[in-house]
Each structure stands twice: as structure tokens, then as C-alpha cells.
Structure 1
Amino acid sequence: MDVLDDRALNRATLARQLLLDRAARPAREVVEHLVGLQAQEPLEPYVGLWSRIAGFAPTELVTLLHERTVVRTHLQRRTIHLLTAADALALRSLFQPMLVQRMYTTLSRVLPGVDLAELAAAGRPHLHAEPLRLPDAARRIADRWPQVKVRDLADALGSVVELVQVPPRGVWGSGSTPTALPAAYTTMEAWLGRAPDREPADAGELILRYLRAYGPASSADVRAWSGLTGLPEVLKRIRPQLRIFRDARGRELLDVPDAPLPHPDTPAPPRFLPAFDNAVLGYSDRRRIIDDEHRNLSAAGERVLLVDGRVAATWTSDAEGVTVHPLRRLSAAERADVEREGHALAAFLAEGAPAAVRFAG
């Protein structure tokens, strides 16, 4: 059985994440290929797409949001993701039990006497009729459960009813800071014209899609990315379609046979990743892309910078430009490459206005 070390896995990940070479593909296709981009920070997916698509312009994603071709909704790991509308409708039933279970694990102690089916039935008509903030929807039905805080009913509603976040949240150039825009929700059926598919999607096909965009990967990586459980039987069923490797630590890695496996010495340009990017978070073992000592940076919402394919810095931005915070010493050549990429990013964020690249420390 072939063994892939961390560098080989790194280059495979970069290629499949479209971070080795930017793709000449529409944003909708890239969102579909990645099975969504994590989007709990409303504007971060724009940076994720800019780092992956040649010539990406924010207006492309804005149009997709307004046309309802892509949506923001809870899915993987019960976090907000930017997904194609088609995937949101097709995948929601597969993920629904996990979404409810994760919510209830967190909130069971503060939902005494709340029947979740009754909660969904009570809240859905209000959210279907018009986009609402979840606390506002919860207040309309709170008299049924006077012993429960509105904020807890609101949190639960976000999982038991199939919802999407609607614009202007998540829209570039909407005239307000992302955190100032309210998160208003409505039902998928109201926003997209039909309810999610009642029959759960094939989990085997979902795993194959994951491997095309994230593999080679272990079964633990699949669980970490998706949040789904009960996958051993699914993996057993699709195993004849898979190619099997091992990593340097002896873990079994699953892969699709036709996905790219670049040579480990393939040059990797600097790439600025947004907060919570799944190129880092989409694995149980993240050592292919980030050192163990830094593995929690992306989970904590830090934006990270890849140098030679690995997390080597964090970065921040403001009205003056981009600031790079190195986690290790960068060579003169690396700094020059980072500065070029940073200037391009700064210009993107400033919509063409002059902006600087600074190195902290």
C-alpha cells in the first residue's frame, strides 16, 4: 500500500482546494466543488473565492446571492456555510438529524418541556411568511414555553426548521459592517421555491465529493468535516470505488482514483485564507497543512497565510491595507512572494484603492 507523507498530502490538498493554481471557473462551480465554504463570518467567503478563482470579482457572488443560486445556511458541523441552492436542498435532510442532535446536546438543559416537533411547527409559519431575526420569531411563540428563555428557543429554531440567511447579510458593499447587519432567516421553501428533498441524499456520494475536494483523507477526517456519524457502513459500501493509501503515521487514507496527486516538490505560491476556511478545518488530522502548535488558530477565527503550502502566518486587514503576522521566520524570497500576493489581496479588499502590505514583528 502506497504511503503519502505530509508534504504529498499537502500538495494534493492544495490542488483539490484550487489553492495550488487559481481556477478559471465560475464561482458557483467552485462553491459546488468545495461542497460549500464556511461562512459564519459573513464576508469571509469572498476572500476564499478570491484565493481560488482567477479574476474573481465580488459582484459575481453578490449576484449569485441575490439570484438565490447560492445561500447561507447551517449544514456541516452545524455551522453556517455558503452553498449552492441545489446542494442546500439536496443535503439538508441528510444533515438534519446531526443538526438537531448537536443543538440538543448543547441546549437540552435549557429547553425543559419543549417538544422539538411542536417547536418547529409553531415557528415555521412565522419564518415562512417573512424573513425574521431568530429572537423575533421566538418571541412570537414564547408564550407556549414561558419557562424557556427566548434566546434558547431562537437557537433551537435555527436547527429544527430548515432556514437560510437572507441578504443583505453576506453581501459585499452592503453599506454596513458585517456584524451590524442583522441575521434574518426565512425557510428554504419560501426563499428557493420548494422544500428540501425529503429523501436524504446518498452519504456515499457526499463522501466521494469530499474526497475530490479534500482527499486523500481518513474516515475521521470525513466525520470532522461533516459532523455526520454512522459512516462505517457507508464507507464499506463505497470502498470498491476507492483507492487506499496510508499516511506517515500509519492511518488509512481513502481517495477517489481520478483526483490529482501532484508531485510533493510542486511549487506552492502564498495563499491568504479567510477565517474558518475548510482547507484547514476540514480534517481531524490537520498536520498536512498546519503544525500542531498552531492548529487552533483557524478554529479560533484567525485568518491564516499559507507559505510553501503550510500555515506560516496570520493576517489582518484594515482601511490601510493588510498586515502579516509571521509564525516563523520568512526568507527574503518568501517575504517578496507574500508581499506581491498581499498587495493583490489589499487591492481586492480596497476595491482597487491604494493599500499597503505590512509585516508585524
Structure 2
Amino acid sequence: MTVLAQRMRAQRLSHPARDVTDLFSSVFALQAQDVFAARLAARARGVRSLDGPLVRTWAMRGTLHLFHEDDLWVVNLLGPIFIAAGRRRRAQLGLTDELCERALPALREVLKKPLERADIVSRLAEVGIALDPKSQAPAHLLAFAAHSGVLCRGLDDTYRLLHIDCEPRDVDELWRRYRRAYGPATPDDFAAWSGLPKRQLKNLTEVTDEPAEPNGTVRMLGHFDPYLLGYRDRSAALAPEHADLVQTGGGFLTPHVVVDGRVVAVWHRDGDQIAVHPFGARPDLADEVADLGRFFEVDARLTWV
């Protein structure tokens, strides 16, 4: 259980963050293709608002994450890898290397203010870059631009220009930040979390994880919470016989309850009811349900199913 206690501490689940900056200095990023899920993840770590110097953009595994602006060096580190990985699919969609490179300065001109995808497609057409709005081409071109450090996506889902003002960092720095957020963990876990090929993960710096002991922490985590997403091997926290109840496919996680780092139940919201399906003994969820009620702005009631 000491390993799980260390992970809970690293993830700021047993030792809540003081504010947004404190949170992101520890966890590095929150998965954010679903902004609501990112807000739930922040709630479980003691942070009630995502107001602050945060940027939502594509990085680890080529997926949307929320970062502190000081950590946008990760875009320059990982972007070229995912640009190369997506080249074949872009070509299938008619997005040649020449067209993609030509689109970057055009996007800088188009995005003088935040825009939705459809508006971007229309304005690009006006400057000679025609995309089929019904195809996947717009999404892949915008992903190329994001990995190139040109644009990002706001919490309101509009696209806007990105300005990166960070010194370059290397894979070893990303490994250190990963271990600060998820340790103890292995290079295999790091590869799964980052999307980096294993050939780039040789000779990683030895990292010592901060000690911790179980303290009875109970947390109700949402879908896409980073606590489980940070590992290839989740068996320490999630028993194999319960894995299918939590990992339902496509990277989606059913909202779940952890006690001292171990997943002990799944839950869902139905109006003002927080319905919990425990795997064994019922954990004490009074405080967490009350805080979820504050989060959802309802008088939350716990039901067992």
C-alpha cells in the first residue's frame, strides 16, 4: 500500500493543492479533451477553479491536456513526434506537407481572435486553403498546427493562437516531471503516458520518489482522471476482476472511488443523486458526496446500487 500512498500524494489526492499553480507544479497536466472532466479532476485535488495561466493543447499521446503556461515546452518536445506519426493519415486526407506548411502562416492571420472550427475552415478557404468541412481534414490540419506550436484550444472549445515562451527541455526533464506526478512508476508506464517511442527512453535519470504512508484518503474521481491514466499497468490500484467496470474502452474511465489509492467502487450522477456501486464494503463517502454537491450545484444525495 505504500506505493499507492506515494502515488496519491504525488497526484495531490491525499495532500490537496493550494491553488492552480501549486496543482500543476505537481501533476504537470490534466487530461482535457473533456473540460468538465478536467474540472472534476481539479476538484478531487482541492482546486475549485481552473482560472489562471493555463493552456489547453495537444501533447502527451497526441491528446488534449491542460498545462501551466510555463510547461508549454512539452509542445515543442512532443509535437514533432506526433506530426511525423500523423503524416500518412494527413496525406490520405489530401493534406500534403506543402499545404500544411502553407497553412501555418495563414492560421496566424486568421486567428486574430478565437474562432470555432467551422469559421476557421471558411476563412482558410478565402485565402486559398480549401478543406472539406465534412471530412477529417480540418481536425487533422488543426492538430498539425497545434503540434507545430501555432494554436491551442480554449476551455470554451474555440481555437486561438498559442505563444510559447519557454526554454527547450529534453525527454529526461519530462521523465522527471512525470515521476513527480505519478511516481513510483516505470519507463513502460512513462511510455504509455507520454506516447514516446521506447527507443527514446534509454538512460533515463534515476529518480527518488517522496515517501508516504496510507492515511485513509477517500476520493471520488471522474472520467478521464489522470490517477489511473498515468500507468500502463494499473493492477496495483485496480483489481483485474473489477477492471472491466472501470475501463470501458476507448480510453474512457467510469467515474470511480479510491480509498488509499485502491479503486473500491464506481459511481455516476443522476440528477441530485450520486449512485455508487461498491465492490465490497461501503466506504465513508459523506464528505466527498457533499463536495460533489457543491461542484454540481445540487443538494447531492448518496444512493447505493
Taking the aligned partners of 2:220 and 2:265, their CA distance within structure 1 comes to: 9
1:132 aligns to what SS in structure 2?
A: coil
Asked if 1:187 is matched to 2:161, the reply is yes
Q: Which runs of 5+ in 2 are unaligned?
A: none
Letter in 1 for 2:158: A
Matching of residues 112-261 of structure 1 within 5 Å: 113=96, 115=98, 116-127=100-111, 129-142=112-125, 144=128, 148=132, 151-161=135-145, 162=149, 163-167=151-155, 169=156, 183-189=157-163, 195-197=164-166, 200-229=168-197, 232=200, 235-236=202-203, 238-239=204-205, 242=206, 256-257=207-208, 259-261=209-211
Contact 1:303 1:316 in 2 (8 A): yes
Report the counterpart of residue 357 of structure 1 in structure 2.
302
Q: Which runs of 5+ in 1 are unaligned?
A: 1-6, 170-182, 190-194, 243-255
Aligned length: 295
Q: C-alpha distance in 1, partners of 2:131/2:177?
A: 44
Which amino acid in 2 is paired with 1:281?
L
Matches within 5 A, 1:34-183: 34-53=27-46, 56-58=47-49, 61-62=50-51, 64=52, 69-88=53-72, 90-104=73-87, 106-111=89-94, 113=96, 115=98, 116-127=100-111, 129-142=112-125, 144=128, 148=132, 151-161=135-145, 162=149, 163-167=151-155, 169=156, 183=157
Instruction: Determine the C-alpha separation between the residues in 1 that align with 2:275 and 2:234.
Output: 25
TM-score by length of 1: 0.73
Give 1:185's aligned amino acid: Y
Does the CA-based 8 Å contact 1:38-1:276 persist in structure 2? yes
CA distance in structure 1 between the partners assigned to 2:304 and 2:85 by the alignment: 40
- Distance in 1 between residues matched to 2:276 and 2:303, nearest whole Å: 6
Separation (CA, whole Å) in 2 of partners of 1:301 and 1:138:
33
Matched AA of 2:184: P
Q: In structure 1, how many angstroms separate the alpha carbons of the residues matched to 2:121 and 2:82?
A: 18
Distance 1:112 1:262, change over 3 A: closer
- Secondary structure in structure 1 of the residue aligned to 2:35: coil
Distance 1:147 1:27 in 2: 38
Give the aligned residue type for 2:247: N
Overall identity of the aligned pairs, in %? 26
Counterpart among 264, 289, 305 of residue 312 in structure 1? 264
Alignment RMSD (CA, Å): 2.6
Q: Residue by residue, what CA displacement relative to the aligned partner does 1:53-91 show, whole Å, maximum 9, x if unpaired?
A: 2xx433xx23x1xxxx11211111121111111112x22
| Cα separation, partners in 2 of 1:279 and 1:345, compared to 1, 3 Å | same
Residues 33 and 158 (structure 1), Cα distance of their counterparts in 2 relative to 1, 3 Å cut? farther
> Are residues 1:31 and 2:31 paired?
no
Q: Are residues 151 and 228 of structure 1, via their aligned partners in 2, closer, same or farther at CA, if it must alter by over 3 Å? A: same
Match of 1:9 in 2: 3
Aligned to 1:324: 276
1:221 and 1:313, CA in 2 relative to 1: closer, same or farther beyond 3 A? same
Kept in 2: contact 1:17–1:34 (CA 8 A): yes
